[in-house]
Structure formats: C-alpha cells, structure tokens
Amino acid sequence: MTDDVSKPILNVLKGETLSPPPIWMMRQAGRYLAEYREVRSRAKDFIDFCFSPDLASEVTLQPIRRFGFDAAIMFADILLIPIALGRRVWFVTGEGPKLDPFDVANFQELADRREDSVLASIGETLRLTKAELPAEMTLIGFAGAPWTVATYMVEGGGSKDRFKTRVAAYDQAEAFDAMMNIIADATADYLVMQAHAGAEVLKIFDSWAEGLPEPLFDRVIIRPTKRIVDRIRAQGVDLPIIGFPRGAGTLYPKYARETGVTALALDTAVDPKWMDENLPAGLPVQGHLDPAVLRTGGAVLKAEVDRLVDAWSDRPHIFNLGHGITPDVPVAHVEQLIRSVRDR
C-alpha cells in the first residue's frame, strides 16, 4: 500500500466512520457466479482447487472485476490446517467436508506430523492476487478458528450440535486443551505467512461458536483466539484482525475485550442497538445482512440495507453478510445490494 492510495476497508479498521460504508461479502467468490463454476471445473476436486494458486487467484479476483467490492478475500478453505497437521480431508458432493474422526487423546500426533510447507501454495495465491488487485482494494487472508476446526476433526465432518466435540472438551479437558494449543499455534503461523505474502487484513472464522455455556466459550473460543492474536503480534505482524465468533450472542462484547481482535464480524441474529451499547467504544464492526434477504432481493433487500447502514452510522462499519452468500443468489441481487449501500 502506498501512502497516497486510500483503502476504505483499512480506513474503517483504523477507526474511521465512512458514509457510505465499504462493502464486501463472505463467500463472494462462489457458485452463484458462472465464471466461478467454469474455473472450478478445471480442478480435479475441491482440495486441488484450493491448492492451485492460478485457479484460486482467478476466482478471488472474479467478484472484484464484476462488482467492484472494496476487498478481495483469498479463495481457500478453513480445513486446510488439518491437512497441514497430517489429517486427511476430502469433500463429498452434496455432503460437504469429511475427515477421519480424531481422538483428542492422540493430540501429540498433530504436532509431530505438522508440515507447514503443505500450505505454501496459499501464499502464492495471495501474491498472484495482490499483483492484480486494484490499488484501492484490500486483500484479506483468513483461517478457521481452533474450535471450529476441531469440531470437524473430532466429528469427522459437519455436525448439527458438535455434541461429540463438546463431550471431549469436558471429558478429556487436558488433552483437548493441548490439541487446541497445537491448532492455534499452527493457525497463527499460517496467518503470519499470509501477512508476509501480501494479505492486508486477517480474519478468524469461528463458524460454530454458538450454543456454548460461558465457561466453555472462554476455554474454546476466547482463549485460543487470544493465543493466535498474541502469537501473530509476537512475530511482528500488526495487520488488522477481524474476529467472527458466529452465534456468540451476548458474549460478543467479552470476545471483543479479551481476544485482542481489531474488529468484530457479526452474525444475522445480532441486535445492533444492544451491541452498539455494549461493545468497546469505536470498535469497528462488520456485517450482518441475512443471506436470505439477499436471495429475496427487491424492496425487502433495500429496507434491510437501509436499516443496517443507519444502525451503524455512528460506528466504524464494513457492510457484509451475517454468513456466506448462497449459491442460488441471482447476480442482479448482488448488484442491487451494492447500489443500495453506495447510492443512499
């Protein structure tokens, strides 16, 4: 970034309140775009797709070219860290990610088998993307948070309530916490690598943070996230970090105070008035349009955009969704969303 180029996303993350707010969307590179589907067809499977820098960079840039979002988020997946820790990950069409279920008692295997070079291609994706990204747009790197990653590892894939993982956290507490430390350290180092490869913002996705009692939330959400942030800072990286503990509810403010993140990404269930009153003053927020509203479009979309932009008009705010864009969203609705935010 040169001193004479203004980047709206970075300005907000420094504490500026902009009108209109800058905008990008989670999963903005995805199946709702025909050009994405064409590039995806060139890879033998989803993991190969993520580890192919030319393809991953191309789909990262596609929504920037089409829509002119204020940020590009690198195309990858939150389940690359388990691969670097020696676990097998594959994707089944119509079912999602699959892993060989992991017994947390064997946590030391993760450290012994850790191989960071597995993730080197992600750095190349960032370098290729940065070279093509317009100067005023921000490049975002990311990783899954340890709790969310651990749930996939322990459950062997997605799970409605992460019950097996929660039981392991209680029943094998010492081993579970040791496993989380290993995942957290690998994640922090992965994010540092992304920073050195050109990322200007780092995001930590805790997609399955909901439904946890506060003591467990402290152990498996706040503590590992703080460990990641502290390790990133100890390695000299001072980039903004966005934390997304989806479903944290009334624990969002505690997460904001205790983890050290720069900004909070908010989910669809958040009450803006309550959150604004309880978050640290001036803390930037991102979010939190319901993806179903984007799918609906029309007057419903316009009204919700107006409501959310107005609700956060006195706080640094990046407009985004409360979760990822769905594959069935018409491109015209994305175009309407951008107009609704920028032409108020």
CA distance 289 to 329: 14
Catalytic-residue membership of 40: yes
CA distance 239 to 311: 27
Catalytic-residue membership of 27: yes
- Which H helix or E strand runs over 227? helix 223-234
Contacts for 272-281: CB closer than 8 Å, 24+ residues apart: 272/308, 272/311, 272/312, 273/311, 276/311, 276/312, 276/314, 276/315, 278/252, 278/253, 279/252, 279/253, 279/315, 280/253, 280/256
Catalytic-residue membership of 227: no
Catalytic-residue membership of 87: no
Annotated catalytic residue: which of 70, 77, 267, 290?
77
The letter for the amino acid at 235 is Q
Annotated catalytic residue: which of 32, 152, 190, 252?
152
Cis check for the bond before 317: say yes or no (omega within 30 of 0).
Answer: no
Catalytic-residue membership of 233: no
What string of DSSP letters covers 228-250? HHHHHHHTT----EEEEETT-GG
**Which residues are catalytic, by number?**
27, 31, 40, 77, 152
